[in-house]
């Protein structure tokens, strides 16, 4: 009888933990979409207004951090969202830590092994914090500023704003970076 109660308790605990993880994951995805949507819509607007891409570079330099702060101001005190990458343009604002690097390396390995899905959301528990990662792939529009054939005008803007830029020479559908939601509970 006691063993049956223990087994049932274990099953219920496992189910409860799984449900909690799914709730945190969904909450994290919501925050990721808030940041990704805000950045993407503004960036698309800049690119549409200036086909050269120069205004998009200026926008990222002056407003991407502000938009990230504004989105975080709307989140509950126990949550935050941010962007990072293995190859950074703005290392001060978007630096990856060891966990971020490990997750992104796993995405890169999956892309190379052709087992990657852009819907692969990774959930990592780090003490009291749960991190939810969404991969960002380089698309043709990204390559205007992050590819290997960047115009001279964009190169000049990037060199002025980011003298230590590493976010270059991407190819389509390679990992550009991730958006990370962190939820502490």
Q: Give the tens place of pLDDT for each residue, 60-77.
A: 888 999 999 999 999 999
Q: Give the tens place of pLDDT for each residue, 71-114.
A: 999 999 999 999 999 999 988 889 999 999 999 999 999 999 99
Total-model pTM: 0.84
Beta bridge partners, 133, equal 122, 180
For residue 109, the model assigns a pLDDT of: 97
For residue 8, the model assigns a pLDDT of: 52
**Domain boundaries in the chain?**
2-184
CA distance 177 to 9: 41
For residue 2, the model assigns a pLDDT of: 60
CA distance 167 to 185: 33
Q: Is the pLDDT of residue 15 over 70?
A: no
Contacts by residues 107-116 (CB-CB < 8 Å, ≥ 24 positions apart): 107/135, 107/175, 107/178, 108/174, 108/175, 111/173, 111/174, 111/175
The number of CA neighbours under 13 Å toward the Cβ of 37 is 7
For residue 3, the model assigns a pLDDT of: 57
């Amino acid at each position: 009888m006691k063993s049956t109660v223990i087994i049932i308790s274990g099953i219920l605990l496992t189910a409860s933990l799984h449900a909690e993880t799914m709730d945190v994951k969904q909450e994290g995805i919501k925050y990721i979409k808030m940041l990704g949507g805000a950045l993407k819509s503004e960036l698309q607007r800049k690119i549409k207004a200036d086909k050269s891409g120069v205004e998009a570079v200026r926008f990222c330099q002056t407003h991407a951090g502000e938009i990230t702060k504004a989105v975080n101001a709307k989140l509950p005190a126990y949550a935050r969202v941010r962007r990072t990458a293995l190859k950074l343009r703005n290392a001060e604002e978007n630096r990856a830590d060891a966990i971020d690097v490990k997750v992104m390396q796993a995405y890169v390995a999956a892309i190379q092994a052709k087992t990657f899905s852009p819907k692969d959301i990774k959930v990592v528990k780090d003490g009291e914090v749960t991190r939810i990662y969404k991969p960002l792939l380089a698309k043709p529009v990204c390559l205007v500023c992050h590819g290997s054939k960047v115009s001279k005008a964009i190169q000049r803007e990037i060199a002025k704003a980011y003298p230590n830029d590493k976010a270059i020479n991407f190819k389509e559908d390679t990992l550009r970076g991730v958006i990370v939601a962190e939820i502490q509970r």
